Amino acid sequence: MSASQSAVRSRAEAVKVSRTFDWMILFTLFFVVLGGYHIHYMLTGGDWDFWTDWKDRRLWVTVAPIVSITFPAAVQACLWWRYRLPFGAIVSVLGLLLGEWINRYLNFWGWTYFPVNFCFPSNLIPGAIVLDGILLLSGSMTLTAVLGGLAYGLIFYPGNWPIIAPLHVPVEYNGMVMTLADLQGYNYVRTGTPEYIRMVEKGTLRTFGKDVAPVSAFFSGFVSIIIYFLWHFFGRWFASTKFISGENI
Amino acid sequence: MKIIKDKVAKLSFVALLITITAAMFYTPTASAHGEKSQAAFMRMRTIHWFDLNWSKEEVPVNDTMTISGKFYVFQGWPETVDKPEVAFLNVGIPGAVFIRQGSWIGGQLVPRSASLELGETYEFKVLLKARRPGDWHVHAMMNVQGGGPIIGPGKWTTITGSMKDFVNPVTTLTGDTVDLETYNLSNTYFWHGLWYLIGLAWLGYWIRKPLFIPRSIAVESGKAASLITSTDKKVGIAFTAGTIALVAWALAATNEKFPVTTPLQAGLLRNMKTFELPARTISVKVEDATYRVPGRAMQMTLTITNNGDSAVRLGEFNTAGVRFLDPAVYEDQSNYPDDLLAEEGLTVSDNSPLKPGQSRTVQVTASDAAWEVYRLADLIYDPDSRFAGLLFFSDESGNRQMVTVDAPLIPTFI
Convert the pLDDT of each residue in A163-174 to its tens digit: 999 999 999 998
| CB spacing of A85 vs B248 below 8 angstroms | no
Alpha carbon of B302: minimum distance to chain A alpha carbons (Å)? 39
| CB spacing of A132 vs B202 below 8 angstroms | yes
Mean local confidence (pLDDT), A120-129: 97
Q: Is the pLDDT of residue B384 over 90?
A: no
User: Which CATH number describes the domain made up of B179-257?
Assistant: 1.10.287.710
Mean local confidence (pLDDT), B293-319: 91
Mean local confidence (pLDDT), B190-209: 97
pLDDT for position A246: 61
Full-prediction pTM beyond 0.90? no
Classify residue B333 by its DSSP letter: -
The whole-angstrom separation of Cα A225 and Cα A142 is 9
Given a contact cutoff of 8 angstroms between Cβ atoms, the answer to whether A52 and A118 are in contact is yes
Amino acid, single-letter form, for residue B375: R
pLDDT for position B28: 62
Per-residue burial over B306-324, b if 16 or more Cβ lie within 10 Å, else e, is bebebbbbbbbbbbbbbbb
pLDDT for position B411: 83
| CB spacing of A137 vs B143 below 8 angstroms | no
pLDDT for position A241: 78
pLDDT in tens, B184-198: 999 999 999 999 999
Residues of A within 8 A of B213 (CB-CB) are 18, 21-22
User: Which CATH number describes the domain made up of B282-412?
Assistant: 2.60.40.1580
Q: Is the pLDDT of residue A80 over 80?
A: yes
Mean local confidence (pLDDT), A52-77: 95
Q: Which CATH architecture has domain A12-240?
A: Up-down Bundle (1.20)
Contacts with B, A 213-242, CB within 8 Å: none
| CB spacing of B206 vs A94 below 8 angstroms | no
Q: Is the pLDDT of residue B25 over 80?
A: no
Q: What is the DSSP string of A13-71?
A: HHHHHHHHHHHHHHHHHHHHHHHHHHHHHHHHTHHHHH-GGG--TTHHHHHHHHHHSHH
Q: Is the pLDDT of residue A37 over 80?
A: yes
**Which of A6, A18, A80, A84 best probes binding to B when mutated, by most B CB atoms within 10 angstroms?**
A84
Q: Largest alpha-carbon pair distance within chain A?
A: 84
Q: Is the pLDDT of residue A201 over 90?
A: no
| CB spacing of B199 vs A129 below 8 angstroms | yes
| CB spacing of A192 vs B149 below 8 angstroms | yes
pLDDT in tens, B108-130: 999 999 999 999 999 999 999 99
Q: Is the pLDDT of residue A102 over 60?
A: yes
Residues of A within 8 A of B141 (CB-CB) are 191
Q: Is residue A131 within 8 angstroms of chain B, CB to CB?
A: no
pLDDT for position B29: 60
Closest CA to B143 of B92, B103, B68, B181: B92
Q: Is residue A168 within 8 angstroms of chain B, CB to CB?
A: yes
* Banded pLDDT at B297 (limits 50, 70, 90): confident
Contacts with B, A 147-166, CB within 8 Å: 155, 158-159, 161-163, 165-166
pLDDT for position B31: 57
* Banded pLDDT at B379 (limits 50, 70, 90): confident
Residue predicted with more confidence, B148 or A26? A26
* Banded pLDDT at A208 (limits 50, 70, 90): low
Fold of B35-172: Jelly Rolls (2.60.120)
Q: What percent of chain B has pLDDT over 70?
A: 97
pLDDT in tens, B308-356: 999 999 999 999 899 999 999 999 988 899 889 999 999 999 999 999 9
pLDDT in tens, B223-247: 998 999 999 999 999 999 999 999 9
Upper half-sphere CA count for residue A221 (Cβ side, 13 Å): 20
Q: What is the DSSP string of A68-118?
A: HSHHHHHHHHHHHHHH----HHHHHHHHHHHHHHHIIIIIIITTT---HHH
Integer Rg of chain B from CA? 32
Packing angle between helix A59-68 and helix A213-239, nearest 10 degrees?
A: 10
Q: What residue spans define the domains of chain A?
A: 12-240
Mean local confidence (pLDDT), B196-214: 95
Q: Which of A93, A101, A163 sits opposite B199 (nearest CB)?
A: A93
* Banded pLDDT at B358 (limits 50, 70, 90): very high
**Which of A59, A91, A122, A169 best probes binding to B when mutated, by most B CB atoms within 10 angstroms?**
A169
ipTM confidence: 0.94
Mean local confidence (pLDDT), A217-225: 96
Q: Is the pLDDT of residue B86 over 70?
A: yes
pLDDT in tens, A4-18: 677 778 888 989 999
Q: What residue spans define the domains of chain B?
A: 35-172, 179-257, 282-412
Q: Is the pLDDT of residue B167 over 90?
A: yes
Contacts with B, A 39-98, CB within 8 Å: 53, 55-57, 82-87, 90-91, 93-94, 97
